[in-house]
Structure formats: structure tokens, C-alpha cells
Structure 1
Amino acid sequence: MTRFFLALTVGVLTALPLAADTGKAVTEHILPRYADFAKQARALADVASKDCTVTEMLPAYTAAYDAWIAVSHIQFGPVESRGSAPALSYWPDPKNRTGKAIARLMAEDTSALTDPEEFKEVSIAAQGFPALERLLTEDHPDQDASCDLRRAIATFIGQTAGDLNGDWQSGYGAGFAQAEVPSYQTPEETRRALYTALSTSLAYLHDQRLGRPLGSFDKPYPTRAEARRSGRSLRHILLNLGALQDLTQVAFADVTTPALSSSFQEAIARAEALDDPSLAGVADPAKRFKIEVLQRAVRDVQELVAKQIAGALGIAAGFNALDGD
């Protein structure tokens, strides 16, 4: 995910007149979400260790993937230093590296399928949720290898989530709240990190989760929708919007206006009104219009975030944060 966030040009223009509530953002938003991700990912690994059949794993996969999407907008801190985000969620994947990596692993009969430490060294395209999705939704002739790989991925996700949660809970969270961690050693830097997490995730939602499948009217790309194989494309949009709304309310309560709150609610309502789990409707003119309206609603949120929150915090975001139409 990190590779596809649009760059922001961020600079402090004035003394900050209002402060983001960094401590509250950590204790009420970040820590609970990483704890839930670790819990659900551990459950996924436990299920896979006992029964790696599709029927048994799907519910745990759904819960763990939900928990990851709900915290995946926090792209700073341990997830950045460990490089975990691309491994957990290798998407977009225009060159089908995930499919190729899966095929290669199963064909080679490698010990990486049964050795968790060795599995950490395989291609990141085969380590996370998109690879697991394929193994749970597509037929593979070698059932034993498929089972081993599903178990290996679930174990990797469980270990990774546990490591990230451990980092946040054991000291990084408190250090970040006090601006006493590497890269974030002033209150301005922690505020900037929270704002950037919000604005870049909105850009990712607009440009990637919605923009990639929408393509153009003449060339829509329904097969480019995230997690379409398991019908999760719209689910990710809703989870993402809900998480960003919560971050805004928790971290930026002092500068959040009724207009911004209403803008979030409008975008969420537009998404909830869609009956299109995999965004296949981008290829249908009637359904496409509703998805385009949702994308514009996300754009409205982006603009208000840039204008109201960045302005109140004395932060200037470069035009790239709103580019992409």
C-alpha cells in the first residue's frame, strides 16, 4: 500500500494555533485497532494450523482482513520500519506477481511452505491477504501444496500482526504520543504524521480503490478492483471511510467542522447504498454513475480535510494530495 500513496509536500507554515490530540489518537484509535488486528490474525493462524480447508478458513480470513483494513491507514511507525504493509497487502498488482509467486512456490515444493522463518524470505507478493484470497477462491490442482501455502500465509500474517501490535503496545505508542521516537521528536512531527495518514489514505481511496476499477467511461477495469475475488472491494471502501472518520473525530476534534463531518457521512451513505460488492458495476453505465458519485464524495472529503484541518494546524499539503481526477 505504501508504494502507491501519493507524495505530500508538507511544511509547517506558522506556529500551530491548535493541536491534534496525539495521545488520544494513540490510545483510542491506533492501539485498539492494532490489538484487534493481532487478535483476529492470531485466530486466523490458529484455524489454519488445525484445518486449512477453504470452508474453515474463510470466516477467519474475513475477520482478519477486516481488522487489517481498519488500521492499514496508519502507515508510520512499526509498520513502516518493518516494511510490513506491502507484504500484508500487495495491491495493486498490475503484473500479476501474486499469481506468479503462488505458482512458483507450489511448483518448487519448497520447504518455505512449512518453515515460517524461511517463508519470511519469499516474495512479498505471496505473503499476505491478496495471495491468501486467491488460495481461498480459486481452484489449484495440488491440494496439499495449496493447504500448506494457506497455512504458511496465515502463520505469517499472525506473526506480523503480533509483532506490530507488540511494538505499539510495548512502548512505541507512548513514545509517539510524547514525540519521543525516531523520526517523530517534536509535537509538530507527530501532528504531521497523523494528518498525512488521513490525507494520503483518502487519496489512496480516491485514486486506487475507486480510480483503478473505474478507469474511464470507455475503458473501465472491473478486474482491477481490490479483493474482488472474495467480493470485498466495497467492504474495503466502507471500512476505510469508517476508520478515517474515526481518526478525524478522535485526533482532530478541535478543528473538525460540521461540514467535514457531514461530508464523511455523505461518502459513507453513498457507499452503503451501492449493491456492488466487487465494483463490477463500473462496466455498467447505470451503476457506474453511482460509483463516480461516491468518488466525488470522497473528493469532497479530501478537499475539506486539506482546507480545514491542514489550515487549522498550520500545515500546507502539496497539490498532489488532491490530484488524480
Structure 2
Amino acid sequence: LLYWPDIRGATVKQASAAIATGDESVLSPDSIAQKSIALQGFGTLEYLLYGTPADTIATPDGSFACRFALAVSRNIATVAGEASAGWAEGAEFPRLLANPAPDNPLARTHKEAAERLLSLLPDSLETARDQRILPALGDSAKDSKVRRAPFWRSGLTLKVIAANLSGVVEAVKVSDIDDALPEDARFLVSNATFGLENVISVLDGLDGGFEAALKDPEGRDKLTYVTVAIREAREEIGPKLFQALDLTAGFNASDGD
């Protein structure tokens, strides 16, 4: 759904090339689904609606880009629908996780199932902090680069990050993981959710948007607080939570080899 980080600008390069050559294969959702991941999701849709093609997308000259955007949006809807169905009660993925067995491809034991699911929480926080905020924040206002953040064209960076964090908070709350923790470790969950809810409030309060916050001293202070608070929450529902539950953290692709 979102190809990020897009260090080499593959999304814009491929979308621009498709428009320049009039590649009609990008006008079909089914065909889009077979193409590069960079071309399939929200990055391309945002570029079409807020990047260079946006200047003419509502005119006859922008007909191709308009149909391109429609195909991408339909592909996004399909992928999102499949993901939702895949996690629905009775679907194969949750069924396999709920029924560990020696021949189960997802989890041989209940411990493995818990490790696989719970690792998604700190990984999501790491992505929000290390891939969506820090690269753009830089060491100073002068060094900041808003284009290193997703959705900078549409000005939706802060809303997307806040939504990511809200998803983590909701997942923690509905998991009832507190019940599995020793009494002296239950503070980890409440601390993490409280901290993340504060972060979401701070992000929602940055009225000028992400780019303005990167340049404003007060805004930068708030973003720095956000990165610190996310890091602390990640420690609490990551390593510390896993230790309290006697679980082993799984491999994270962002850790490298």
C-alpha cells in the first residue's frame, strides 16, 4: 500500500514514465497489481493528485493521469479489502496463529504465535520514528528535508503518523496483554499507551503542518519530544514487554543482516 522509504524516487520515476509514454497498462487495476510495488499504492496516488500531474488532472489534457489515479485507487481498495478479509475471524491467517502445531507454517507453539504478533507493535513504532520522522527532521532546521517524509506533497505526513500510532495503541488495548503480564510489569502497557496518546495529541496540535514544524524552533522541540516518546514506548512494548513475558523478539528487516 505504501512503498517507503523510496530513497531513489522510484515512485515518481515510474509514474512519470508511464504518463510520458502513454502506457495504457497502468489504466487497469488488474495490470497495476502486477507492476512494481512502487507504482501500486498511495505514493503513486499522492503524486498523481498533488504532484506535477495535478496541474492538469482535472482538464482534458489530464485524462490519462486521471484514469491512472482511478486504477491505482481501485488497486488500493482491493489490497486493503484482501488484507481485512485475511485477518477476519475464521480466515486462514488468524486460524493458523490460534492453532499452533509442529507442521504449522506460521507458528509451531503458542509462544511463537505470540512472538510473531507482538513483534508487530515495536516494529510499527520503529517505522514511524526512524523512517517517517527522523530522516526529515535532521540535526537542525537548516538540515531538515520535508521530502524525506511520506505524504509531504499532500501535507498529510502528521495525520498519517498519528494514524499509525493510533493503530498501535488500539492493538495494545484490544489485545488485553496486561492480563498475561506479571503484576509488577503491567505498568509497561499503561506507560506505553499513555505516552503514545500524548504523542498523538502533540502531532494533532501542530497546526502549521509538518514542513512548518521542521523550520520552527518550537515545532522542532515538539517533534524531538515525539521521537523520544516513541522510542520509550517502543522499549516498553518491545524488549521490556518481551522480557516480562519470556518471549524472544523476532528478526526485524530494518536491523540489517
- Structure 1 contact 226–233 (Cα < 8 Å) conserved: yes
The match for 2:167 is: 243
- Structure 2 contact 2–41 (Cα < 8 Å) conserved: yes
Taking the aligned partners of 2:127 and 2:196, their CA distance within structure 1 comes to: 16
- Structure 2 contact 158–203 (Cα < 8 Å) conserved: yes
- The letter of the residue matching 1:162 is G
Taking the aligned partners of 2:13 and 2:173, their CA distance within structure 1 comes to: 42
From 153, 174, 178, give the equivalent of 1:253: 178
Could you give the per-residue CA deviations for residues 231-280 of structure 1, whole angstroms, max 9, x where no partner exists?
21111121111111112222223234233343233323332332243343
The match for 1:67 is: none
TM score, norm. by length of structure 2:
0.81
Structure 1: runs of 5 or more not aligned: 1-87
Q: How many residues are matched?
A: 236
Taking the aligned partners of 1:151 and 1:262, their CA distance within structure 2 comes to: 39
The match for 1:171 is: 92
The match for 2:62 is: 143
The match for 1:31 is: none
- The letter of the residue matching 1:238 is A
TM score, norm. by length of structure 1:
0.66
Q: Greater shift after overlay, 98-107 or 305-314?
A: 305-314
The match for 1:315 is: 247
Q: Greater shift after overlay, 182-191 or 96-105?
A: 182-191
Structure 2: runs of 5 or more not aligned: none
Aligned-partner SS, 2:18: helix
From 235, 241, 244, give the equivalent of 1:303: 235
Report the alpha carbon displacement of residue 94 of structure 1 after superposing the two structures with TM. 2.0
The match for 2:201 is: 269
Report the alpha carbon displacement of residue 129 of structure 1 after superposing the two structures with TM. 0.6
Report the alpha carbon displacement of residue 199 of structure 1 after superposing the two structures with TM. 1.0
From 108, 129, 144, give the equivalent of 1:220: 144
Report the alpha carbon displacement of residue 307 of structure 1 after superposing the two structures with TM. 4.8
Could you give the per-residue CA deviations for residues 98-148 of structure 1, whole angstroms, max 9, x where no partner exists?
111111111222231333332223222121011101111134254111012
Q: In the superposition, relative to structure 1, how do residues 227 and 185 fare at CA in structure 2: closer, same or farther (>3 Å)?
A: same
RMSD (Å), alpha carbons: 2.6
Taking the aligned partners of 1:144 and 1:159, their CA distance within structure 2 comes to: 23
